[in-house]
Every structure is written in C-alpha cells, then in structure tokens.
C-alpha cells in the first residue's frame, strides 16, 4: 500500500488527481467530429447518475443544513428560527445523553472488535486447513441483516428463558435483566456491536497482512526471534496504516448505529441506550419536527467530519 491508498478520503483524492492523463485533451486543438461524438456519449452515460446523485444526495444535504435553522412540521412551511434548534438541543438532557451513549458505544465496540480482529487475522494468516471455515464464521454476522441478528440477540438476552442467563447460571453467576436493566442495557448493546463488527475489520487486516514482505519474518527467524517477538516487532508496526484505516471507518460506522437499537431496546430503558441517530429518527418520524431532526443530524455530521479531519491531520504528520 502506498501512503495515499491507505485512507479512504485521501485515496479518493489521490484518485482524483491521477485523472487519467492519457485521455486529457491535447492542448486546444479543433475538436474532430469523432471527438465530439465521444464527448456526447460520455455525457449521455453519466447524466442519469448525475441526476440521481444530485437529487437524492446533493439536494438533501443542502436541505438538511437549511432545515436545521427552521421550525418545520411538514404541514406548514418551514419557519426560519436561526439557532433555536441548536440551543434547544444542547439544553436537552436526552440528546446530550444520546451523544454520551454514542461516544461510549464507539469507545467500547471499536477497540474491542479491532483487537479480536487483528488476533484472528494473524492466526488465520498462518494458513490452516480450516481457514476458510474460520473466515466464514467470523464474517457471517457482517453479511446478515442487523435487524435479524438483533432479533436473535433479543432472544439470547431474554431475562427469563435466554441462553445467556442459562450459561451464566451454569457457571454460578446470577443472571441479569440485560436489555431492560438501565445499567446493563448499554453493555449488552455494545456486546452485539462488537460481535458483529469483527468480520469486516478482520478482512481488512488479512488483506494488509498479505502485503507484509515475507522476507522480514525469514530474517527474524534466522536471528532466532520468537513468534511473539515477531508479532510485536514486525506485524504490529507493519499493520499501522491498516489499523488506522480500520479505526476511522469503524468510528464512522459505530456513530451511525441504529438498527440494533431499534430492535433491542427502542432507546430505553430510561434512554440508557438512545443514540444520536435514534434521536434524529424520533424527532423526525415520531414528533415530526423536521427542523430539529435536521439540526441533530448536522451535529452527527460534525462529529464525523471532525474525526475525518483529525485523521487526515495525523496521517499528514506521519508522512
């Protein structure tokens, strides 16, 4: 991996810069009819996509920022209220709690699943016979729907008949009410998030491990280094760019957790598991306060933008 390819945004920027030079125009010559035809074909090919992305992404983003400064309940026209939504939001204990919950959820799911993922990736990279089976097992939660998976966990966490409490019981640990206990609900949600998030991180780590030069390990073996030593002195440093990439996309993903909250807890009990996304959903589609929902989603966007910018800073300094 070259330095520009290890970060999503930077990779994209680099791709933008390398706009294929071969097809760039050769100075300002008269354009032949064949060339004109090509250009027209190019436009024809891209127009449907431009319209689609423009209508369903560009306009909505602009509208979100606009609506965040309005009071808008769908039935009357939006009323411009400057920063009232933002002021109200930051005085709203529930929204503040949702920020706290989101950060807490991210703080636990991301490192835990990253740690498991890197260990599994390294072990899988040894090339065992059952390797394909292992990879499938760890990756399966990623391809199946979050709603379906959350449904299964809802059953596992069932306080009366659930598998988890049964297993704890056999170990002599008293069961918990999990999702209905304000103290345990968020940890339970975090457990599901971490469990589901391992697969994708593992894949990226496996890809990165493939790129480590085998000769480094051979040289270390000749010097008599142990496997553990090799892991910490070769593998860990060589995985740094991948770790960084995984870290960023995981944070962005974790901040947008929604489906499992909807199924598992509905944000409860007592708002113990409500997330920023869930508050956006509630404001917009339960209270029909489109302006407020937009303002909340702008704050969510600001968080993600902040993470992205910081990450760019850090990579730049490293280069």
Partner 1 sequence: MTLPTIKALAISEQVTVVPRKRWFHHAKGRQAALINVALILGSVTMLVPFLWMVLTSLKSPAELAQFPPTFFPQEWMFSNYAATLDAAPFGLYFRNSFVIATTHTLITVVLGSMAGYALARIYFKGREAIFLAFIAMLMIPTYTKIVPQFLLVKFMPLFGGNDILGQGGSGWLDTWWALIIPGGLSASAIFLFRQFYLSLPKDLEEAARIDGLGEFRIFAQIYTPLIKPAIATVGLLTFQESWNNFLWPLLVTTSSDLRVIQVGLAVFQQLDNTQWQYLMAGTTMATVPMVVLFIFAQKYFIQGFTNAGIK
Show contacts with partner 1 in window 84-123 (CB under 8 A).
116, 120, 123
Of 81-89, 99-107, 134-142, 177-185, the segment contacting partner 1 by CB under 8 A is 134-142
From residue 83, alpha-carbon distances to 33, 86, 179, 310 in Å are 55, 5, 36, 26
Among 32, 33, 91, 126, binds partner 1 (CB under 8 A): 126
249: tokens are: 């996309």
Q: Is the peptide bond before 269 cis (omega within 30 degrees of 0)?
A: yes
CA atoms of 268 and 1, how far apart (whole Å): 44
Shortest Å, Cβ 106 to partner 1: 14
Shortest Å, Cβ 305 to partner 1: 8
Of 36-44, 93-101, 105-113, 178-186, the segment contacting partner 1 by CB under 8 A is 36-44
Rg of the chain, C-alpha, whole Å? 25
Alpha helices (H) along the chain? 8-17, 33-53, 59-67, 84-90, 93-124, 131-143, 146-156, 163-170, 185-210, 214-222, 227-230, 236-238, 240-255, 259-264, 276-285, 290-318
Shortest Å, Cβ 25 to partner 1: 6
**140 counts as binding partner 1 under rule CB under 8 A:** yes
- Contact set for partner 1, span 49-78 (CB under 8 A): 49-50, 52-53, 55-61, 63-64, 67, 74
**244 counts as binding partner 1 under rule CB under 8 A:** no
Among 27, 29, 161, 174, binds partner 1 (CB under 8 A): 161
- Contact set for partner 1, span 262-281 (CB under 8 A): 262-263, 276-277, 280-281
CA atoms of 94 and 101, how far apart (whole Å): 10
- Contact set for partner 1, span 191-210 (CB under 8 A): 195, 198, 200, 203-204, 206-208, 210
């Amino acid at each position: 991996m070259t330095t520009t390819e290890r970060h999503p945004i930077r990779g994209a920027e680099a791709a933008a810069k390398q706009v294929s030079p071969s097809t760039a125009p050769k100075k300002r010559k008269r354009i032949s009819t064949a060339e004109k035809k090509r250009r027209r074909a190019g436009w024809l090919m891209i127009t449907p996509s431009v319209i689609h992305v423009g209508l369903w992404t560009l306009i909505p983003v602009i509208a979100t920022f606009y609506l965040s400064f309005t009071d808008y309940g769908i039935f009357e026209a939006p009323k411009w209220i400057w920063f009232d939504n933002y002021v109200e939001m930051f005085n709203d204990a529930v929204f503040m709690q949702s920020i706290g919950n989101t950060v807490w959820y991210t703080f636990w799911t991301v490192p835990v699943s990253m740690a498991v993922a890197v260990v599994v990736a390294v072990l899988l990279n040894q090339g065992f016979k059952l390797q394909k089976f292992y990879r499938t097992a760890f990756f399966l939660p990623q391809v199946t729907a979050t709603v379906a998976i959350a449904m299964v966990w809802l059953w596992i966490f069932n306080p009366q008949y659930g598998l988890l409490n049964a297993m704890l019981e056999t170990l002599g640990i008293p069961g918990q009410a999990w999702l209905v206990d304000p103290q345990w609900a968020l940890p339970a949600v975090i457990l599901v998030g971490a469990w589901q998030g391992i697969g994708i991180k593992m894949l990226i780590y496996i890809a990165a491990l493939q790129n480590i030069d085998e000769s480094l390990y051979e040289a270390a073996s000749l010097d008599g280094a142990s496997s553990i030593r090799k892991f910490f002195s070769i593998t860990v440093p060589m995985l740094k760019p991948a770790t960084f990439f995984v870290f960023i996309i995981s944070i962005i993903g974790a901040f947008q957790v929604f489906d499992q909250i909807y199924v598992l807890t509905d944000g409860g009990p007592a708002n113990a598991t409500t997330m920023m996304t869930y508050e956006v959903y509630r404001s917009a589609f339960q209270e029909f306060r489109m302006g407020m929902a937009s303002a909340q989603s702008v704050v969510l966007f600001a968080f993600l933008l902040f993470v992205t910018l910081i990450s760019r800073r850090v990579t730049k300094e490293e280069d």
